[in-house]
């Protein structure tokens, strides 16, 4: 179900360029990351490595720490311990400017979180103009190109409230992607969508993966994980309980809890 024709878009770099970054083979590394809210330990001793161009899918029951992991990477949450290295730099160091780090990542939310007071193009170009200091004309043309990329070129002047859920989520993805982030974090991006709208968003993510966009996402869409992921991590109780290729984790899970979770999902 490909709703949008494939087309190359100027702001995105080619997969070869992305994968071939010579300076570091890994884009993101988590070592011993721990996060608790009060007495509730949400992440304990999480290790994860993401290479450029990879798509890492986090699975697990609600409350297993998937969203918290993404929020820690985006520095929305401050880790209690451990080191997160992004582009070779320790971003958990308190001296690091979090805004600057976030400007090089894209985060997409379950509930879209579009700005209702701005039209679609305004949403997409806001950070370009305010954070990346792109001129109004260039921001507009880049924004329109990105909207065309997600198949919404004709909606640029619409208000978010006038769009369907799938369209809103595609705008949110365009908004996160337009500044050419090195890493996309996607937090349950299809969970709020009607089943018939899930496909258009997942198709878009698959295309982005083909274009070499590095993604870390959590989802309950096992079909998507099987098809697109390079690496699947099953989280349980704040730990990465099982980790590997989709064939390994989804096709031949080794741990009891993973099998239990997958059978519940499929039931």
Closest contact distance (angstroms) between CB of 34 and another protein is: 7
Q: Which of 11, 15, 32, 165: binder of another protein (CB under 8 A)? A: 32
Q: Which of 5, 6, 40, 137: binder of another protein (CB under 8 A)? A: 40
Q: What are phi and psi of 130, to 5 degrees?
A: -85, -35
Taking CB under 8 A as the rule, does residue 96 contact another protein? no
Taking CB under 8 A as the rule, does residue 34 contact another protein? yes
- Sequential DSSP letters for the chain: ---S-----TTSPPHHHHHT-SS-S-SEEEEEEEEEETTEEEEEEEEEEE-TT-EEEEE--TTSSHHHHHHHHTTSS--SEEEEEETTEETTSTTS-HHHHHTTEEEE-TT----TTS-HHHHHHHHHHHTS---HHHHHHHHHHHHHHTT-GGGTTS-GGGS-HHHHHHHHHHHHHTT--SEEEEESTTTTS-HHHHHHHHHHHHHHHHTT--EEEE-S-HHHHHHH-SEEEEEETTEEEEEE-HIIIIIS--SHHHHHHHHHHH-
Q: Which is nearer to another protein, 3 or 130 (CB)?
A: 130
Binding residues for another protein restricted to 55-94, rule: CB under 8 A: 63-64, 76, 80-83, 92-94
Taking CB under 8 A as the rule, does residue 104 contact another protein? no
Q: Which of 95, 133, 264, 266: binder of another protein (CB under 8 A)? A: 95
Binding residues for another protein restricted to 199-258, rule: CB under 8 A: 237-238
Among 32-40, 138-146, 151-159, 174-182, the segment contacting another protein (CB under 8 A):
32-40
Q: Which is nearer to another protein, 33 or 55 (CB)?
A: 33
Q: Which of 13, 18, 111, 165: binder of another protein (CB under 8 A)? A: 111
Closest contact distance (angstroms) between CB of 147 and another protein is: 23
How many chain residues bind another protein (CB under 8 A)? Answer: 22
User: In this structure, how many other beta carbons lie within 10 angstroms of the beta carbon of residue 68?
Assistant: 23
Q: Which is nearer to another protein, 83 or 222 (CB)?
A: 83
Taking CB under 8 A as the rule, does residue 135 contact another protein? no
Closest contact distance (angstroms) between CB of 27 and another protein is: 21
Where on the chain is the footprint of another protein (CB under 8 A)?
32, 34, 36, 39-41, 44, 63-64, 76, 80-83, 92-95, 111, 113, 237-238
């Amino acid at each position: 179900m490909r709703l949008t024709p494939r087309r190359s878009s100027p702001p995105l770099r080619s997969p070869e360029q992305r994968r071939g970054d010579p300076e570091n083979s890994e884009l993101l590394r988590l070592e011993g990351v721990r996060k608790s809210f009060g007495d509730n330990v949400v992440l304990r001793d999480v290790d994860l490595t993401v290479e450029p161009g990879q798509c890492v899918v986090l699975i697990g029951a609600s409350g297993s720490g998937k969203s918290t992991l993404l929020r820690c990477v985006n520095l929305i949450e401050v880790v209690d311990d451990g080191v997160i290295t992004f582009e070779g730099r320790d971003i958990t160091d308190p001296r690091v400017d979090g805004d600057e780090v976030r400007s090089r990542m894209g985060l997409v939310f379950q509930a879209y979180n579009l700005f209702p007071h701005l039209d679609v193009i305004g949403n997409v170009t806001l950070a370009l103009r305010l954070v990346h200091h792109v001129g109004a004309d260039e921001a507009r043309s880049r924004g329109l190109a990105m909207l065309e990329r997600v198949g919404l070129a004709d909606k640029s002047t619409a208000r978010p409230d006038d769009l369907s859920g799938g369209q809103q989520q595609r705008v949110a993805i365009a908004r996160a992607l337009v500044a050419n982030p090195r890493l996309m974090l996607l937090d349950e991006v299809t969970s709020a969508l009607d089943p018939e709208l899930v496909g258009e968003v997942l198709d878009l993510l698959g295309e982005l993966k083909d274009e070499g966009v590095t993604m870390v996402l959590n989802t309950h869409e096992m079909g998507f994980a099987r098809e697109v992921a390079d690496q699947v991590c099953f989280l349980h109780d704040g730990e990465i309980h099982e980790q590997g290729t989709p064939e390994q984790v989804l096709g031949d899970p080794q741990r009891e809890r993973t099998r239990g979770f997958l059978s519940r999902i499929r039931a």
